């Protein structure tokens, strides 16, 4: 009988393998390390839709050349608090990391740093970048967009992407930042892709088939619903404007699909904003009030968590148990290991 016990993988094990496999396809070891550590951090948070499960997809796009292995990521300062980054079709994680660094640098001088991004690709979980800003005592805001995956409210056919938003605030005593990181769709599209690969059903009301009918069968889903009906649709509309047209990029149906046309570059845009609280009410005051808000909101009930806390709880758990790996993902990891002559990672069997 086939072993159906869940598999887990230790953080260090998957980090070493991921760096080896990404550099094995021709990416510099420094870039591979940045990408791998970001994906593992995301998986530790329990955001499996944007974590290590995306490694095979990125390798596919690197192989076809639709993600530039050696991009020249250029920055142009356009005003005291604004700038533009051209990602040269490189990996979105590398590009957004650069955008974050420049946004923080500008904010320290001008009070705010707003960086527009063009010619990017999938950048992973955008909470990676806002949390980094918050850990440096700043307020972090980030938006990105994607190809048509979500139906407009009242529609039957996908138009906008999942178009996420993230906002993060610092807290006192080096606590984890307060962080919102959410798609404007009812669920991230990568959640649907994971369900397709594992041949699982999804909750009713999440997805629509090619005829615009609701379906729970992941393999039949071609589009998902917006979050909170009209509100999620309206947010997706405006985020697409901030990421696409504002940066000279396309929107919704004019963007290269993530999982189709793998030879075509994505040409995505993003917007990263850093605010220095010292230019407003004060950094230390903001940190203290963030922690005070957490303390007071938790006094309202035993089960109340602050934004971002579910991820931090999951991180503590997975640092002990390891990151879960499905059998289908394990097979993909093994396929790429053989193809690039990299030693396959070792797994931990559950009890």
Of the candidate ranges 173-177, 180-184, 253-257, 339-343, the one whose mean pLDDT is the lowest: 173-177
Q: Quick check: 186 and 225 in contact, CB under 8 A?
A: yes
DSSP 8-class letter at 330:
H
- Does residue 172 surpass a pLDDT of 60? yes
Buried b (16+ CB within 10 A) or exposed e, 66-92: bbbbebebeeeeeeebbbbbbbbbbbb
> Phi then psi for 272, rounded to 5 degrees?
-120, 130
- Does residue 1 surpass a pLDDT of 50? no
Over residues 16-43, the mean pLDDT reads 98
Over residues 283-312, the mean pLDDT reads 96
User: Which one, of 239, 227, 214, lies nearest residue 152 by Cα?
Assistant: 227
User: Which one, of 65, 61, 62, 43, lies nearest residue 52 by Cα?
Assistant: 43
Cβ atoms within 10 Å, residue 198 = 12
Over residues 254-276, the mean pLDDT reads 97
With a pLDDT cut of 90, the percent of the chain lying above it is: 93
Over residues 43-65, the mean pLDDT reads 97
HSE, CB side, 13 Å, CA atoms: give it for residue 5.
8
**317 membership: H or E segment, kind and range:** helix 309-321
Q: What pLDDT, on a 0 to 100 scale, did the predictor assign at position 198? A: 86
* Strands across the sheet containing 165-169: 74-79, 82-86, 112-120, 268-275, 139-144, 165-169, 178-182
Q: What pLDDT, on a 0 to 100 scale, did the predictor assign at position 4? A: 58
Q: Quick check: 91 and 84 in contact, CB under 8 A?
A: no
Over residues 225-253, the mean pLDDT reads 98
Q: Quick check: 140 and 130 in contact, CB under 8 A?
A: yes
Q: What is the pTM of this model?
A: 0.95
Over residues 213-240, the mean pLDDT reads 97
**321 membership: H or E segment, kind and range:** helix 309-321
Identify the residue with better confidence: 28 or 4: 28
Mean pLDDT of the residues in the chain: 95
Identify the residue with better confidence: 126 or 188: 126
Using CA atoms, how far apart are residues 257 and 259, in angstroms rounded to an integer? 6
With a pLDDT cut of 70, the percent of the chain lying above it is: 98
Residues 6+ apart with CB under 8 A from 312: 45, 176
Q: Quick check: 214 and 204 in contact, CB under 8 A?
A: yes
Buried b (16+ CB within 10 A) or exposed e, 24-56: bbebeeebbbbbbbbbbbbbbbbbbbbbbbbbb
Using CA atoms, how far apart are residues 123 and 98, in angstroms rounded to an integer? 12
Over residues 69-73, the mean pLDDT reads 98
Q: Based on C-alpha coordinates, what's the Rg of the chain?
A: 20
N- to C-terminal Cα separation, the chain? 17
Give the chain's domains with CATH numbers: 1-64+309-351 (1.10.1530.10), 73-185+226-307 (3.30.1370.60)
Residue carrying the six token digits 């640092």: 319
Tokens of 103: 């946004």
Burial of 216 (0-12, 13-18, 19+ CB in 10 A): middle
Q: What pLDDT, on a 0 to 100 scale, did the predictor assign at position 350? A: 58
Strand pairing report for 207-208 and 178-182: unpaired
Q: How far is C-alpha 350 from the geometric centre of its chain's CA atoms?
A: 28
Q: Which residues pair with 223 in a beta bridge?
A: 208
Residue carrying the six token digits 């356009």: 78
């Amino acid at each position: 009988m086939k072993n159906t016990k869940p598999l887990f993988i230790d953080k260090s094990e998957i980090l070493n393998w991921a760096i080896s496999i990404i550099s094995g396809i021709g990416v510099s070891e420094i870039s591979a390390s940045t990408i791998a550590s970001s994906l593992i951090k995301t998986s530790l948070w329990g955001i499996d839709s944007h974590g290590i499960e995306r490694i095979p997809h990125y390798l596919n796009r690197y192989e076809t050349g639709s993600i530039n292995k050696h991009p020249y990521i250029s920055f142009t300062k356009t005003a005291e608090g604004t700038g533009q980054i051209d990602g040269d079709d490189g990996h979105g994680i590398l590009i957004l990391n650069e955008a974050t660094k420049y946004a923080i640098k500008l904010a320290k001088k001008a009070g705010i740093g707003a960086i527009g991004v063009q010619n990017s690709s999938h950048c992973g979980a955008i909470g990676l970048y806002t949390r980094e800003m918050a850990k440096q005592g700043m307020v972090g805001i980030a938006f990105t967009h994607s190809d048509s995956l979500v139906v407009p409210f009242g529609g039957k056919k996908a138009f906008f992407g999942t178009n996420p938003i993230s906002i993060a605030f610092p807290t006192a005593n080096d606590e984890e930042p307060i962080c919102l990181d959410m798609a404007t769709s009812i669920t991230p599209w990568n959640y649907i892709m994971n369900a397709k690969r594992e041949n699982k059903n999804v909750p009713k009301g999440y997805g629509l088939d090619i005829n615009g009918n609701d379906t729970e069968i992941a393999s039949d889903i071609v589009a998902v619903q917006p979050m909170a009906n009209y509100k999620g649709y309206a947010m997706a509309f405006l985020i697409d404007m901030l990421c696409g047209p504002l940066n000279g990029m396309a929107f919704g149906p004019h963007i290269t699909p993530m999982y189709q046309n793998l030879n075509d570059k994505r040409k995505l845009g993003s917007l990263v904003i850093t605010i220095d609280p010292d230019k407003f009410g004060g950094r230390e005051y903001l940190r203290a009030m963030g922690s005070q808000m957490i303390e007071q909101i938790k006094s309202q009930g035993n089960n109340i968590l602050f934004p971002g806390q579910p991820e931090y709880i999951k991180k503590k758990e997975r640092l002990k148990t390891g990151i879960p790996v499905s059998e289908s993902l394990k097979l993909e990891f093994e396929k790429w290991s053989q193809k690039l002559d990299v030693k396959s990672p070792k797994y931990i069997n559950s009890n």
